[in-house]
Amino acid sequence: MHQLVDMFIKGRIDVLLFERSSVMTLLAEKDIYGIHYQSIGLIPASIAVSKDEEGTELKKQLDEVIKTLDLDKIFSGYLQYIYLPSKGVTSKFQVNY
């Protein structure tokens, strides 16, 4: 991802198509702003386990662990970008909501 963002910054590629948070985070780390962005859809994330005895036990363990996680803290880097409009231009003011 770092190399693709560098290629984009140098003008070697014209477009990047990845989830918003990772690209916008890398651009912000490199102090690059004024980039046009647009969402093209939502892709939910999931966890899958085998449908057998071991998978059922793993699912039970994962369900319990997930309940204890501070999801706002874990996903804070991502969450700061999901509340942005579906399209716009990046700026320093979008970081650290």
Task: Dump the DSSP string for 65-92.
Answer: HHHHS-HHHHTHHHHHHHTS-SEEE--G
* pLDDT value, residue 4: 92
In the chain, which stretches have pLDDT less than 70?
A: 93-97
* pLDDT value, residue 94: 60
- 């999901």: which residue's tokens? 82
41: helix, coil or strand? coil
Specify the pTM: 0.63
Long-range contact list for 91-96, CB < 8 A, 24+ apart?
Answer: 91/33, 91/34, 92/28, 92/33, 94/24, 94/28, 95/28
How far is Cα 92 from Cα 97, in angstroms, rounded to an integer?
11
